[in-house]
Amino acid sequence: MPWTAPQADRKVTPPVAGERQMLDAWLDFHRQTLLAKCAGLTEDQLRQPAAPPSTLSLLGLVRHLAEVERGWFRRRVNGEDIDFLFSSEADPDGEFDLEKADAERDFATYLAEVEAARQAAAGHDLEEIFHHKRRQIDMNVRWAYVHMIEEYARHNGHADLLRERIDGTTGM
């Protein structure tokens, strides 16, 4: 039996909560929404591009968001000196090149990066400042959270359209 993307465990966000709890809940909701858009699909389905010449695919989005989690929470907020996963300075969109992709491995990588990002962010106050080297600007951890929620919301919209194109499923 071929591998299929795992089911999501999306929880309702709290209608009343402190700021950190609310940001964590909304970010986790969007992380699980991405998984819901992929749930039950085979590797071949996850690799299907939106429309030529675009390389946008559900698998590419999973790889991209693993890279983004790693970049914002581990590399920038936590100051870890770690390499890119799928892209590079020379190939900043490498996560969408699926030639060497393996869906099962890449989903495991995504889940590991989400957990590592949670751990990295947990040790930092929302007001804490970090320096973004490429942009040459100081930012706070709150900004990273808000940006990540926005990043997921935008890409989950893409994922919704991709999923509908693959099998007609909507509204997940």
* DSSP states of 47-109: H--SSTT----HHHHHHHHHHHHIIIIIIIIS------SS--SS-TTGGG--TT--HHHHHHH
Percentages helix, strand, coil for the chain (3-state, rounded to 5) are 55, 5, 40
List, for residues 59-105, the tens digit of each pLDDT value.
999 999 999 999 999 999 999 999 999 999 899 899 999 999 999 99
Q: What is the SS3 assignment for 4?
A: strand
- The packing angle between helices 58-69 and 103-122, to 10°, is 30
Extents of the domains making up the chain: 19-167
pTM of the entire predicted model: 0.96
CATH code for residues 19-167: 1.20.120.450
pLDDT of 131 reads 95
pLDDT of 85 reads 96
Query: Which residues does residue 132 pair with via DSSP β-bridges, in sequence order?
Result: 137
> Quick one: tokens of 152?
């997921």
Whether 172 has a pLDDT exceeding 80, the answer reads: no
pLDDT above 70: percentage of residues in the chain: 100
